[in-house]
Amino acid sequence: MCDTFVQPGIHGWIFGKNSDREPNEVQIVEYHPPGSFNSTDQVQCTYTAIPQVEKTRGVVISRPLWMWGAEMGVNDKSVAIGNEAVWTREKIHKQGRLTGMDLVRLALERSSTAEEGVSTITSLLERYGQGGACGYRNKNFHYHNSFLVADPTQAWVLETAGEFWAAKKLSGPYAISNGLTIDQDFDLHHPRLVENAISRGFAKVNEPFSFQKAYRDSFYRFFSGCEIRRAMTTQSLSDHTPVSPSLDNLLLEAFARLRNHGEDPYGMGGFRGTRVCAHSANSLARDATQTTASLVASLEPGHPPQIFTTGTSAPCTSVFKPIPMSQDLRPLFGYPEHTMGETSLWWRHEKLHRLVIEDYSRNMPILEQERDELEQHILLSRSGSRSQELFALVEQAEQRWMEQILSMPRKPLSRYWQRQNRLAGFRI
């Protein structure tokens, strides 16, 4: 499960996304420079290879370690894309096609504008289809995809059901959360979208056609908790009042929006995943619901993108840090493995995250104020050339928070989290 939003910035757009996946599913942030290729070259995606294009754009992506594709990313033309799992009434192909994450990365590498990103995704979708197992350990996890695509001058929502799709150009803030949202007001669509829905009995000839009503799967729509999460983000976006309009304030609001736990900020219960800042808790409805990475980007005309990422799970326990577009990011994020180790930022932070959730209501107040102060400091000194220094500053703070929590009596984790720790070879 995931949550993604766009909102108008001071001069362009702000993009934000939480990537929610299995709790031990390490995510890595990396930069890939522009490339040049021959006409016979192929690109090996997660499950299938397709012809490569002559030139690709430089991209910063955040991807699960086992995938080729990306959960979210930004390219050197300030195009940002994130995807969401959605379930529809169309057949899901379980093998040998492009995943939604493949489509995100391919579109980032091949597009110079948001509209071109929409065109790239839909062209690839119609030619190669979408499908394949999308879970880390759960190989029965399959879905279709929706996307938010933005650049400095425009933003689009694109939603799919198998090979069929609809897209809408946005004029204001918008959020998506694992359910179809486009109603009757789409601007672009698959040429047989309405015809297929009517022939399958999803829509009636004499009634106004609604994409989401025709193609949505109501069971998974409820089971995923998507309507509750989307309502939380939409409310947060509509509550925005520019009392002191500045890019820094908009970015701080974006960070906070991805940390939203709803009316009970310290509550961790509930059967379904109904919090934007998601924490796994059971193997049925809250397994693939751990926020394993978060990203916010400011996209302004005439300026390179400003990209901030946690690079770690649980944005509530993490600090958003600036990253440059044009350099190797491995010195910042390390070299992750699939099990616990000290060579990656993701696993080092995971010690803090799993300590905090032992007693969330007691432990979170230890770090919240300093976390927010760190982000304000980072925004005042966010030059890409200082990323190494700022990352080190954050890790020093996280070490202090861990030491303070370890100095107090500890509570045992739930059986669910004890099992996750065993699978990851994780001990504190």
Active-site residue set: 2
Q: Nearest to residue 215, comparing CAs of 290, 284, 163?
A: 163
Compute the radius of gyration of the chain from its Cα atoms: 21
Buried b (16+ CB within 10 A) or exposed e, 197-214: beeeebbeeeeebbbbbb
Q: Nearest to residue 331, comparing CAs of 370, 257, 384, 266?
A: 384
Amino acid at 53: V
**3 state DSSP class of 102:** helix
**3 state DSSP class of 346:** helix
Q: Nearest to residue 368, comparing CAs of 332, 307, 318, 298?
A: 318
Query: E strands of 138-180, at which residues?
Result: 144-150, 155-161, 164-169, 174-176
**3 state DSSP class of 92:** coil
> How far is Cα of residue 292 from the mean position of the Cα atoms in its chain?
9
Q: Which residues contact 386 (CB under 8 A, 6 or more apart)?
A: 322
